[in-house]
Amino acid sequence: MSEKTITIALAKGRIAKHTLSILEKMSIQFSEFTSDTRKLVIWDDSKKYRLILVKAVDVPTYVETGAAEIGIVGKDVIMEEKKDVYELLDLESSRCDVVVAGFPDEKMDERPLVKVATKYPNIAKDYFDKKGRACDIIKLNGSIELAPLIHMSHVIVDIVETGTTLRENGLVVLEGITSSSARVIANKAGYATKTEEVRQLINYLKEGMEAAE
Ligand code: PRP
């Protein structure tokens, strides 16, 4: 592997597909990539960029440890994982909101202790602490909207994209916490040693985004 190769940790799924479509606009081709591929390491045709396809929640870890110089993942995950990395670019894709949701008649402020189910324990805890509300965080890994329905929690902290999951389960957004979109993050030491290569990739991504508009 050449010294100047860049390894990019990509969140599998929509972020991966979107990123590759941007890079292809700049003639960086990943011929081996298909949306249903089971391959975990994919080189671009010029062998300058190596993609590793990983679970979104693991992207910041690959980048912080230096296993990848670059990572592309949602801001929601970056906020939750709190890793020591640079955030270099907002790709403005995969937009969603991080919210507190629950039943329409939920009165969180009247509860001495709010039970919160979430995939995002750090974001939820930081938000409830800032509001001065005592909370009990219940960490789940999926189907978060179920928790209030079966009285496991009073509210949830989760992402909302189209709003369909909330609507179909009789829940509503109670409070917005932040908005999220796909971001490019970089390993700090990798950025120092491969500054030119990283900057060139960032420029390709910026130009590819403009070309895709
Ligand atoms: C996410 C999120 C919500 C849903 C929001 O779940 O946790 O449940 O998408 O999208 P919507 O507003 O468009 O309905 P995901 O699809 O990742 O599945 P999960 O429940 O297994 O986490």
User: CB–CB of 202/91 below 8 Å?
Assistant: no
Q: What is the pLDDT of residue 22?
A: 92
Q: Which of 160, 171, 173 to probe ligand 1 with, by most ligand atoms within 8 A of CB? A: 160
Q: What is the pLDDT of residue 1?
A: 63
58 close to ligand 1 (CB < 6 Angstrom): no
The pLDDT tens digits of the residues spanning 111-152 come to: 999 999 999 999 999 999 999 999 999 999 999 999 999 999
Q: Among 77, 76, 22, 23, which Cα is nearest to 45's? A: 23
167 close to ligand 1 (CB < 6 Angstrom): no
Q: What is the pLDDT of residue 75?
A: 98
| pLDDT in 10s for each residue of the chain, 213 residues | 667 899 999 998 889 999 999 999 888 999 888 878 888 999 999 999 999 999 999 999 999 999 999 999 999 999 999 999 999 999 999 999 999 999 999 999 999 999 999 999 999 999 999 999 999 999 999 999 999 999 999 999 999 999 999 999 999 999 999 999 999 999 999 999 999 999 999 999 999 998 887
Q: Among 151, 140, 54, 56, which Cα is nearest to 96's? A: 56
141 close to ligand 1 (CB < 6 Angstrom): no
Q: Whose CA is nearest to atom 15 of ligand 1?
A: 142
Sorted by where each starts, the structural domains of the chain and their CATH numbers stand as: 6-94+181-212 (3.40.190.10), 96-179 (3.40.190.10)
The residues facing 9 across adjacent strands are 52, 71
Place of tokens 């390491």: 41
Which strands sit side by side in the sheet containing 172-180, from one edge to the other? 135-139, 114-118, 155-160, 96-102, 172-180
101 close to ligand 1 (CB < 6 Angstrom): no
Q: Spell 16-49 as b/e; 16+ CB within 10 A means b.
A: bebbbebbbbbebebeebeeeeeeeebbbeeeeb
The first and second tokens of residue 26, run together, are 């700049």
Strands 86-90 and 182-186: antiparallel
Q: What is the pLDDT of residue 35?
A: 77
Q: Whose CA is nearest to atom 18 of ligand 1?
A: 142
145 close to ligand 1 (CB < 6 Angstrom): yes
